[in-house]
Amino acid sequence: MTYQPPCPRRPPGRLGAGPATVLCLVAFLTAGLLGFLPAVLLAVRRRTRADLAGAVAAVVLELALVVSAAITDPGSNGGVANHLGVGLMLLMMLGAPLHFLLMNRRAAWDAHTPAMKPAPMPTPYLPPPAPADDLQQLAELPRRQAGSDRR
């Protein structure tokens, strides 16, 4: 039986139209509160530095949105925190789906996906070569055995 190396796992590919639409709608319909989800999903699936940086930026923007919502006075119509919160909410509602759609394109996936190389086949076991004296003795052994049987 020969050794068969395990098949390498195929790296994940880009998401289809259905899951991509759902992720974009999640970011939009939750008013940006789950806007970090598409960027984090890309970072988990692709595992590149650029995607990790995008996910970290999305999480930081999300935290800034939550902090600005927490410090805004509920009765005020203006203020820096209120305007900052509205701007961050719009950025997460519209920017997160746009970022995801741009980074989920086939060209973006092909740029980050390494080409699959087949696993190298192991070399078959070959016994070490026998010295010439041993070969000569092995060749004479049947003759000696046949001669000793006649006696």
- Is residue 65, in this structure, part of any structural domain at all? yes
Alpha-carbon gap, residue 49 to 135, rounded angstroms? 61
**Token digits of residue 43:** 């970072």
| Range in 10-19, 29-38, 50-59 the model is least confident about | 10-19
User: Are the beta carbons of 104 and 15 closer than 8 angstroms?
Assistant: yes
Higher-scoring residue by pLDDT: 58, 77: 58
Residues 6 or more apart from 136 whose CB is under 8 A from it? Answer: none
- Is residue 25, in this structure, part of any structural domain at all? yes
Structurally, the chain folds into a number of domains equal to 1
For residue 35, give the nearest of 69, 14, 63 by alpha carbon: 63
- pLDDT beyond 90 at 105: no
Q: What is the mean pLDDT of the chain?
A: 82
pTM for this one?
0.62
- Is residue 4, in this structure, part of any structural domain at all? no
